[in-house]
C-alpha cells in the first residue's frame, strides 16, 4: 500500500484534533446515556416519548452542523492561508444563520409540540409525554446552536480544548439535575420526563455562559468578539452560499430523511422505538472516535488544500484516512456486540424490548463499518477539499431513493422483523461507499475555495 502516508506529523495533527473531539462526543454521549437510563427506569412511554421528541432537536442539530460544516470548509482553508480576517467574517455568517434556524425550531417545539410528536407516533401516551418534553426543551435550542456552532468552528484553528471544558461542565450539571428532577431527590418534585427536559435546558444555558466567558476573557487566536456579529460580510455571502449552501441543504435533507426513518420505526411498534433507542445509545458510545475523526479529517484536508500542497500528497492523505476508518469501523462493530448485553440489562423495559434490542444491535454492527468510511468521505474528505456538491449528492441521493423506500416497504407493508428492516433503512451506506471510492480516486474533489473576496470593508 504505497499510498499510506509516512509523515508522523500528519498522524500527530490528525489525532491531536480527533481525540479531543472524540472526548467531547463521548461527554455528549454520556449525557444521552444518562437521560436514556434514567428515563428507562421511569418506563417505556417516557423513554419513547423523549426519544421521538428529540427528533426535532436532531434535525436542528444536523442543520446547525451543516451551517457549521460549511463555515469549517472555509475556515480550515483560510487557516491554511493564515487569514484570520476572513475566518471572523465566516463565523459571523455562521452565527447569524444558526440563530435564525434555532428560533424556528424553538417556535415549533413550544407552539405545536403535539403536531410534531404526531409525525413520529400515533400512540396517544407517547405523544403526550413527548409534547411535555418539547415545550420545555424548546427554549434552550438557541443556546445550543450558538455554543455548538462556535465551539465547532474553532476547531478549524486547532482550538479544541474549550469544547471539552464546555461539555464536561454540561455533563455534570445535566446528570445531577436529572437525578434530582426526574426522581424527585433532595426534596424536589418528581417530574419524570419533564424533569429531564428542565435539566437539559439548564445544562444548555451553562454551556452558553462558559463559551461567552471564554470568548471574552481567554480566546487569543481568532479574537472574535460580540461586535464582530455586526461587521459587514456582504462580500463573503456569495462565496459562502455557493460552497456552503450544498452543505446546509445536504444536512437538512439528510436529517429530514433520517427523521423519516424514525417515523417508519415509530409506526411499526412501541417496542421497536424503545429497542432502537437502546441500540442507538450503544452505537453512540462506539461512534465517538469515528465522528471525531470525520471532523478532524475536514480540518486536515482543508488546511492542506488551503496551503496549496501537492495534489498527490492530498490524495494519499485521504486514502490513508479511509483505510484508518475501515479499521475503526471493524473495531466499532466488535465493541457493539461486546457492549450490548451489559447495557441492555441496565434498562427496566419488557423482555420483548430487550430481546429486540439484542438482535437489533447485530444489524447496527453490520452497518457501522460502512458508516465509518462514508463519514470520512462525505464529512471529512469531500467537504474539506471544497467539493460540497458531490458530498451532498452522495449523502442524500441513496437515502431518499433507496433506504427510505426499502425501509417503508419491508417494515410497513411486508412486516419484516425489525433487525432486517433496520438494515434496509441503512442500505444507503454501502452505495455511498461505492460511489465515493471512485470519486476519491479521481481527485476531482480538490478545490481551493478560500479566495479572499475583494472590496471588503476592513
Q: CB 392: neighbour CB atoms within 10 A?
A: 24
Is 438 buried (19+), middle (13-18) or exposed (0-12) by CB count in 10 A?
exposed
Q: CB 87: neighbour CB atoms within 10 A?
A: 26
- What's the whole-model pTM score? 0.76
pLDDT at position 223 is 87
Identify whether the C-beta of residue 37 lies closer than 8 Å to the C-beta of residue 347.
yes
Q: CB 246: neighbour CB atoms within 10 A?
A: 21
Q: Which of 87, 234, 81 is nearest to 153 (CA)?
A: 87
pLDDT at position 432 is 95
For residue 446, give the 3-state DSSP assignment. strand
**Residue 107: partners with Cβ closer than 8 Å, 6 or more residues away:** 138
Q: What is the pLDDT of residues 127-139, one digit of tens each?
A: 999 999 999 999 9
Element counts in the chain: helices (H) and strands (E): 17, 0
pLDDT at position 155 is 79
pLDDT by residue, tens only, the chain of 458 residues:
778 888 888 999 898 888 888 887 787 777 767 777 788 778 778 888 887 888 888 888 888 888 888 888 888 888 888 888 889 999 999 999 999 999 999 999 999 999 999 988 888 999 999 999 999 999 999 999 999 899 888 877 778 788 889 988 988 999 999 999 999 999 999 998 899 999 999 999 999 999 999 998 988 888 888 888 888 888 888 888 888 888 888 888 887 888 888 889 888 887 888 888 889 888 988 888 888 898 889 889 988 988 889 999 999 999 999 999 999 999 999 999 998 988 888 777 788 889 999 999 999 999 999 999 999 999 899 988 989 899 999 989 999 999 999 999 999 999 899 999 999 999 999 999 999 999 999 999 998 876 555 444 43
Plot region of 323 (φ>0 → left; ψ -120 to 50 → alpha; else → beta): alpha
Q: Which of 30, 102, 109, 32 is nearest to 66 (CA)?
A: 102
Is 226 buried (19+), middle (13-18) or exposed (0-12) by CB count in 10 A?
exposed
- Supply the DSSP string of 378-403, one letter for each residue: IIIIIHHTB-HHHHHHHHHHHIIIII
At 289, give phi and psi (nearest 5°): -75, -40
Distance CA 374, CA 410 (A): 24
- Supply the DSSP string of 72-136, one letter for each residue: HHHHHHHHHTT-HHHHHHHHHHHHHHHHHHHHHHHHHHHH-HHHHHHTT---HHHHHHHHHHHHH
Q: What is the pLDDT of residues 280-317, one digit of tens each?
A: 888 988 888 888 898 889 889 988 988 889 999 999 99
Amino acid at each position: 500500500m504505497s499510498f499510506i502516508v509516512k509523515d508522523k506529523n500528519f498522524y500527530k495533527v490528525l489525532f491531536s484534533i480527533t481525540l479531543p473531539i472524540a472526548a467531547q462526543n463521548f461527554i455528549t454521549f454520556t449525557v444521552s446515556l444518562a437521560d436514556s437510563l434514567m428515563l428507562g427506569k421511569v418506563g417505556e412511554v417516557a423513554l419513547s416519548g423523549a426519544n421521538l421528541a428529540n427528533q426535532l432537536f436532531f434535525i436542528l442539530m444536523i442543520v446547525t452542523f451543516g451551517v457549521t460544516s460549511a463555515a469549517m470548509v472555509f475556515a480550515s482553508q483560510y487557516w491554511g492561508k493564515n487569514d484570520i480576517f476572513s475566518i471572523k467574517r465566516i463565523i459571523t455568517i455562521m452565527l447569524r444563520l444558526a440563530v435564525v434556524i434555532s428560533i424556528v425550531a424553538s417556535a415549533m417545539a413550544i407552539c405545536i409540540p403535539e403536531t410534531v410528536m404526531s409525525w413520529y407516533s400515533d400512540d396517544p401516551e407517547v405523544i403526550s409525554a413527548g409534547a411535555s418534553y418539547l415545550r420545555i426543551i424548546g427554549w434552550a435550542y438557541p443556546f445550543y446552536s450558538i455554543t455548538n456552532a462556535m465551539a465547532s468552528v474553532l476547531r478549524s484553528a486547532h482550538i479544541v480544548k474549550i469544547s471539552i471544558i464546555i461539555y464536561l461542565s454540561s455533563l455534570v450539571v445535566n446528570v445531577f439535575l436529572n437525578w434530582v428532577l426526574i426522581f424527585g431527590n433532595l426534596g424536589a418534585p418528581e417530574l419524570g420526563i419533564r424533569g429531564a427536559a428542565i435539566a437539559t435546558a439548564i445544562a444548555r444555558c451553562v454551556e452558553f455562559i462558559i463559551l461567552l466567558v471564554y470568548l471574552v476573557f481567554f480566546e487569543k487566536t481568532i479574537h472574535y468578539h460580540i461586535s464582530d456579529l455586526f461587521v459587514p460580510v456582504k462580500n463573503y455571502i456569495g462565496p459562502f452560499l455557493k460552497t456552503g449552501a450544498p452543505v446546509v441543504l445536504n444536512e437538512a435533507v439528510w436529517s429530514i430523511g433520517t427523521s423519516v426513518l424514525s417515523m417508519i420505526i415509530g409506526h411499526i411498534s412501541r417496542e421497536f422505538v424503545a429497542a432502537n433507542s437502546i441500540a442507538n445509545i450503544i452505537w453512540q458510545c462506539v461512534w465517538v472516535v469515528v465522528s471525531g475523526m470525520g471532523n478532524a479529517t475536514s480540518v486536515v484536508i482543508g488546511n492542506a488544500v488551503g496551503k496549496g500542497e501537492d495534489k498527490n500528497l492530498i490524495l494519499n492523505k485521504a486514502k490513508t484516512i479511509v483505510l484508518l476508518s475501515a479499521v475503526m469501523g471493524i473495531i466499532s462493530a466488535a465493541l457493539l456486540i461486546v457492549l450490548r448485553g451489559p447495557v441492555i440489562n441496565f434498562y427496566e423495559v419488557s423482555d420483548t424490548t430487550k430481546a429486540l434490542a439484542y438482535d437489533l444491535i447485530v444489524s447496527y454492527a453490520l452497518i457501522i463499518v460502512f458508516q465509518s468510511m462514508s463519514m470520512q468521505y462525505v464529512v471529512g474528505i469531500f467537504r474539506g477539499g471544497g467539493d460540497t456538491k458531490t458530498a451532498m449528492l452522495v449523502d442524500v441521493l441513496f437515502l431518499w431513493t433507496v433506504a427510505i423506500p426499502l425501509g417503508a416497504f419491508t417494515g410497513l407493508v411486508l412486516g419484516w422483523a425489525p433487525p432486517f428492516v433496520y438494515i434496509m433503512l441503512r442500505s444507503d451506506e454501502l452505495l455511498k461507499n461505492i460511489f465515493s471510492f471512485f470519486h476519491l480516486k479521481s481527485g476531482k474533489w480538490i478545490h481551493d475555495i478560500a479566495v479572499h473576496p475583494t472590496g471588503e470593508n476592513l
